[in-house]
Amino acid sequence: MYTVTTDHQSQQQVDALPVEALAPFAEARAILEIAPWNGAPYHKSKPDSPMRALTFGPAGQGDIVYLILDDLRRVDILVVVSAELTGQLSADRRGLSRARGERTVSQPIVRRASRASRPPTRNSATSRGPVNHGQQQGTMT
């Protein structure tokens, strides 16, 4: 069995689901506890990726985007979208996009890891001072 978790953002999306979507969502969540790899790959070009999507509802009205952490036996729900909410979400995105002068995209937005949670890159020499690449300081040969 896997533990299924939601963060603040995805929990708000679950809380906003229409009443008729709650039972199908609960069934989909139960599937994630038992067989999370049954979901479709989120990126078709990466079929073995742990980022997956599962459609729920009798007519496929909802989608869950999630990440499988196999070593922890955990599934993190990232995004929950329902067809009943899609119009509202699209309108919200359209308003934001127009305010920024951007083109509207009707796909769910997936959060990325915050900068603090990402490991430092090797090219961050400016934050750590000069790199010495194995040479001894103060000696010339």
Tell me the residue type at 17.
L
Tokens 């603090």 found at: 116
Q: Give me the tens of pLDDT residue by residue for the chain, a chain 141 residues long.
A: 999 999 999 999 999 999 999 999 999 999 999 999 999 999 999 999 999 999 999 889 999 999 999 999 999 999 999 986 555 444 443 343 344 343 333 344 444 444 444 455 454 444 444 544 444 555 454
Give yes or no for a contact between 63 and 108, defined as CB atoms under 8 angstroms apart: yes
| Type of residue numbered 43 | H
Q: Is 122 helix (H, G, I), strand (E, B) or coil?
A: coil
80 within 8 A of 8, measured Cβ to Cβ: no
Q: Which helix (H) or strand (E) holds 113?
A: none
Domains delineated in the chain: 3-82 (3.30.2310.20)
Cβ contacts of 57 within 8 Å, gap of 6 or more: 21, 24, 82, 83
- Please give the sequence-ordered ranges of beta strands (E in DSSP) within the chain, or none if there are none: 3-6, 40-41, 51-56, 62-69, 74-82
Instruction: Return d(Cα 65, Cα 10) in angstroms, integer.
Output: 10
pTM of the model: 0.60
What letter would DSSP give residue 88? H
Longest dimension (CA), the chain: 77
